[in-house]
Amino acid sequence: MDSALIPKGVKRCPTWQFLLWIGIVGAVLLWGVYAMLLCWIKGLNQTNMNDYYGFALWIWADLAVIALGGGAFFTGFLRYVVGKDELKNIINYAVLIGFICYSSALLILAIDVGQPLRSWYIFWHANVHSMLTEVAFCLSCYFGVLCIEYIPLVLENRQLDRVPFFHRLGHNMHEIMAIFAATGAFLSFFHQGSLGGVAGVMFGRPFAFREHLLVWPYTFFLFTWSAAACGPCFTLLITHITEAITGKRLVKDNVKDLLGKISGWMLGTYIIAKIIDTWYWAAVTAPSKGFTLMEFYSDNAFYGIWILVTEIVICGVLPAVILMIGPLRRNRPLFLSAIILACIGVCLNRWVMVLQIMAAPVMPFDNWALYLPSWQEVATTILPVAYGIILIMISYRYMPVFPQEQELNPVVE
């Protein structure tokens, strides 16, 4: 039925099967949309947030998807600025995943603010000293860059490509893509960092506060670094999942190996910096405010010391070692475990840097506050996942996302 839209030389599932899955995932999407409308119409009383948890599940989801979407900027940086040419075989998918992640982040933010219609104040009345202002500006600009990077792929659709203007436009955009990619990398270094800065500048919260280099707290650099390390892992993970679902090899092993190796070295160096940061914070910064490390981790089992060990050792050191050492990296189950652990690690880090900050009391006579999200918060957090799956399904079906697909899966007529 839709065969005229499907790229030449590749095989896709029957239309009914495609539509069935769109329908199933679409139902989840609609559930999320319903919750979103509830939040917009009735207000944030639909959530389980409170005056202790002003930042909660949504802000974590924002930070997590932006970190995981970091694969787009870092792969783009490696491909266009550093010149790792092999990565052209995965860059389309990295861009698509980044596009989904960033549009999701913007959507979640639009639900999260109390007065969404006033969101433009953050631009118009910008307080340039606020990390959140920098996040808002760079996030929006970088989303524009992602659109620019994604459009040429859309224009490569068989039918769109027949329109001379689109064909030529796509070609011309490819020609100067390096400039856009470099701008995207510039913007990303800043907003990824500023998201870390959001926590690091809170000098009223000893759990969050970190020493500064110029105007930037150390969390600024750690967040950029971890996003550059773990973002490509997420791209690789989604590629593996897509390969498993489609039952095809879509990207050659040498490309995955290269991206995995670079991620490994980024993760390895990051985790050393993170350990030094944690040690300095525990030994110097927090005690100077009257806190010991264990005060932050021993009130309840949920925020126990296990969370720090898991983040740094199990989801940091371990995957870094696997990805850095060639023979380990080339072992498929180990490789998969490493990229999954790296993704969990960065999500856990963002969780701690949002939720645990809110949970830990500062006034000596105050108590720990725990929180469980409401179903509306959960549904609106799943909403972008459903949206992402649908966009990937459509893109994969109608656009040549994987340049190596044809070669790896010759169609026998």
Can you tell me the distance from the alpha carbon of 201 to that of 217, in angstroms, rounded to the nearest whole number? 6
Q: Which stretch binds other proteins (CB under 8 A): 3-11, 41-49, 246-254, 335-343?
A: 41-49
Minimum separation from the CB atom of position 181 to other proteins (A):
11
Using CB under 8 A as the binding rule, whether residue 343 contacts other proteins is answered as: no
Return the number of the residue (7 or 388) whose C-beta is nearest other proteins. Answer: 7
List the interface residues with other proteins, window 348-407 (CB under 8 A). 357-358, 362-366, 369
d(CA 55, CA 60): 8
Nearer to other proteins, 155 or 250 (CB): 155
Q: What's the rounded Cα separation, in Å, for the pair 100 and 92?
A: 12
Q: Which positions from 305 through 334 interact with other proteins, judged by CB under 8 A?
A: none
Nearest distance from C-beta of residue 157 to other proteins, angstroms: 15
| Residues forming a β-bridge with 143 | none
Report the DSSP beta bridge partners of residue 213.
Answer: 216
Integer CA distances (angstroms), 207 to 84, 210, 292, 347, 365, in order: 39, 9, 10, 18, 17
Residue 45 as a binder of other proteins (CB under 8 A): the answer is yes
Three-class SS of residue 328?
helix
Binding to other proteins by CB under 8 A, coded x per residue (else -) over 195-224, reads ---x--xxxxxx------------------
H helix or E strand, kind and range, residue 331: none
Q: Which of residues 290-309 bind other proteins (CB under 8 A)?
A: 290-292
Indicate whether 176 belongs to the interface with other proteins (CB under 8 A): yes
Nearest of 103, 201, 97 to residue 144 by alpha carbon: 103
Structure tokens at 199: 């926590």
Task: Work out whether 171 is an interface residue with other proteins (CB under 8 A).
Answer: yes
127 binds other proteins (CB under 8 A): yes
The answer to whether residue 8 forms part of the interface with other proteins (CB under 8 A) is no
Counting beta carbons within 10 angstroms of the beta carbon of residue 1, is it exposed (0 to 12), middle (13 to 18) or buried (19 or more)? Answer: exposed
Nearest to 75 by CA among 257, 224, 239, 262: 262
Q: Out of 62, 134, 156, 277, which residue is the one contacting other proteins (CB under 8 A)?
A: 134
Neighbours of 327 (CB within 10 A): 7
22 scored as a contact of other proteins (CB under 8 A) = no
Question: Measured from the CB of residue 50, what is the shortest distance to other proteins in angstroms?
Answer: 4
What is the nearest approach in angstroms of other proteins to the Cβ of residue 387? 23
In the complex with other proteins, the residue whose CB is nearer, 138 or 343, is: 138
